[in-house]
Structure formats: C-alpha cells, structure tokens
C-alpha cells in the first residue's frame, strides 16, 4: 500500500505535496530534524508554530523512531488544537540522525493529523515504509519529485 491515500484525502489540498519534501539534509540531532519538518508544516499552513514544541515534547516522552530508518515525529494531546489541517512533511537525511541508541533515522516524516486522521496517516506511512527496498530507494534518492512519486504511487 502506498501513500496514495494522501492524494485522495482532500480535493482542495493534498496531505503530502512536493514542496513538503526536503532532500540531502543534515541535522545535528533529532530536535533539529523535528524542527525542519515542523517548519514545513507551519509554512504550508497545516499547523501553528507552537506545534513544533509539541512534536519535541512528544519525542521526549517516547521516541518516534519506528524502525527501518524512519522516524515519525508528531504532537499529541493538547497539540491537536494547534493543527489547522492534516499534512505531512518529509526530510531525508542521507547520513542519518540519531533518534536513540541504535536508532538512526534517514527519513523523518512530520505528521499533523486533524481529528482522527492521524491514525490513517500513521497506518499509511507504516504500510508504505515496511518494504526495505523501497525505503532504501527513498533514502538514496536525490530528488523531492522522485520521493513524492514513490510515496504517492498507486498500488494495484
């Protein structure tokens, strides 16, 4: 299953857009990486700026590293009030970013899910990123367009 759900979700705005993807990024730590994806969500009008702090607070409670080189930072609880509309932002880190002991993320996917949409977003990300070959291609890609196409391709 691919993230084509993101393309179908809203007629007026996509949850994942090409300009919501950064490639070849470098971050000194997981908090800087979270800041990068959070700023994309803010710039796209998906969340209020204070949502970034909620993403970092969530990371302090429990890592958002899900394995296979992927982290999915997001805010929870009261942070839901900071979400304007659902969206995701992707940052690719070819050298990786430490999200914990033996937990290096090469793809950091910031999530903002309005209402209960966060559950669908998380499920779709998990499905799309369980294929190790596909994740490797995402990590090694040099193009936001290529990453967008891989994450939104239709699956038969």
Range of lowest pLDDT (1-10, 57-66, 99-108, 141-150):
1-10
- SS3 readout for 44-94: CCCECCCHHHHHHHHHHHCCCEEECCEECCECCHHHHHHECCCEEEEEEEE
Its domain, for residue 90, covers 4-152
Over range 6-24, report the average pLDDT. 73
CA distance to 45, 46, 61, 116, 139, per residue, from 76 (Å): 18, 15, 11, 11, 27
pTM for this prediction: 0.87
Note whether 110 and 88 are within 8 A (CB).
yes
Count of the separate structural domains present in the chain: 1
Provide the pLDDT confidence category of residue 13 given band limits of 50, 70 and 90: low
- 148/11: higher pLDDT: 148
Q: H-helix or E-strand containing 109?
A: strand 104-112
Residues designated catalytic? 74
96 backbone φψ class: left, alpha, beta (φ>0; ψ -120 to 50): left
What pLDDT sits at residue 117? 73
- Other C-beta atoms closer than 10 Å to the C-beta of 155 total 9
Q: pLDDT band at 10, cuts 50/70/90? A: very low
CA 83 to centroid of chain Cα atoms: 15
- In the block, tokens 């891989």 appear at 150
* CATH number of the CATH domain containing 90: 3.40.930.10
Residue 36 has pLDDT above 70, yes or no: yes
User: What is the three-class DSSP state of 135?
Assistant: helix
pLDDT, residue 118, reads: 67
Return the minimum-mean-pLDDT range out of 2-6, 23-27, 124-128.
Answer: 2-6
pLDDT digits (tens, 9 = 90+) for 66-116: 989 999 999 988 888 999 999 999 999 999 999 999 999 999 999 998 877
Tracing tokens 């084509």 back to the chain, one arrives at 4
Supply the pLDDT for residue 44. Answer: 95
Q: What is the pLDDT of residue 156?
A: 42
């Amino acid at each position: 299953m691919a993230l084509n759900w993101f393309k179908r979700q809203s007629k007026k705005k996509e949850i994942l857009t090409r300009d919501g993807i950064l490639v070849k990024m470098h971050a000194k730590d997981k908090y800087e990486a979270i800041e990068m994806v959070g700023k994309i969500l803010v710039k796209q009008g998906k969340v209020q700026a204070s949502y970034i702090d909620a993403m970092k607070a969530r990371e302090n409670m429990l890592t958002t590293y899900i394995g296979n080189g992927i982290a999915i930072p997001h805010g929870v609880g009261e942070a839901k009030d900071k979400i304007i509309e659902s969206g995701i932002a992707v940052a690719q880190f070819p050298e990786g970013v430490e999200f914990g002991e033996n937990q290096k993320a090469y793809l950091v996917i910031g999530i903002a899910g309005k209402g209960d949409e966060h559950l669908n977003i998380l499920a779709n990300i998990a499905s799309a990123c369980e294929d190790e070959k596909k994740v490797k291609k995402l990590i090694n890609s040099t193009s936001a367009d290529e990453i967008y196409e891989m994450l939104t391709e239709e699956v038969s």
